[in-house]
Structure 1
């Protein structure tokens, strides 16, 4: 499977990145807000959802960064617990005064990061390595 490199400049693009990163494992030590650069970045181990479902499930190291970030706030994330990790559930954009708004990254265990942004400008990039895992998470499609 070829490494992915995706750019998001609007809500539709961001939804595509969110889908590729669903269930990614994000070590808290690999999450950083760089206010001077107006950048928020994290590294994760994402599942290769785009792979053939009959092939063995694999994860790969992936980076995600957001540009033009004005502020970042977190909920239920303790930055001193560097050995902890969270599972990404999804990424949502809430419009403000166009083109600004808020991007929220929702994680397992009621954790979240909210980014106030000038506009949507994000990039997801597979960086390698790739490794097989036991199984893919199952999601109940009939759940409300």
Structure 2
């Protein structure tokens, strides 16, 4: 019998939770440059839940893809926020079902007693603001990774 090695491991889908601002920073990093149609936003006031179905760039795989000379990947992921009391947006044309949005960052603006606002910053000056009782978020991959259509890593000109 031999000890397991790093190479014996296999990639598994992400399934991460966030319960504080530091956790949310990790989710923000992993969802940066995720794209999604405006039709994949869901606000369920009765359940205090807001969810997005994202096509996220696999930042956690970028170095391995470059080192192995293979294509970059995306994966469909659910980003779900619970304890949501209200949702507001700006710069989003909800009536145009063909609009594709790009998520740049997920930030938390604290208020009293753990409450606050989660701000989803979108490319093109769009934003979604979630009023929350507390941070409770989940990022979960729901499909197998697929080759990024652009075959390139997103970049942000300075």
Q: TM-score range by the shorter chain?
A: over 0.9
Indicate the larger mover: 80-89 or 67-76: 80-89
Q: 2:50 aligns with which of 16, 21, 40?
A: 40
Q: CA deviation at 1:129?
A: 3.4
Point out 4+ residue stretches in structure 1 off by more than 3 angstroms.
none
Among 79, 85, 97, the alignment partner of 1:70 is 85
Q: Which has the larger radius of gyration?
A: 2
- Distance in 1 between the 2:29 and 2:65 partners? 15
CA distance in 1, matches of 2:75, 2:93: 25
* Map of 2:146 onto structure 1: 131
Instruction: Specify every segment of 5 or more residues in structure 2 that has no aligned partner in the other structure, as ranges.
Output: 1-10
Q: Which residue of 2 aligns with 1:103?
A: 118
Q: Residue 17 of structure 1: SS of its match in structure 2?
A: helix
Gap runs ≥5 in structure 1: none
Q: What is the CA–CA distance in structure 1 between the aligned matches of 2:19 and 2:145, rounded to whole Å?
A: 27
Q: How many residues end up aligned between the 2 structures? A: 141
TM-score (norm 1): 0.94
Structure with higher strand content: 1
Residue 130 of structure 1, CA deviation: 2.0
> In 1, distance between residues paired with 2:42 and 2:115?
21
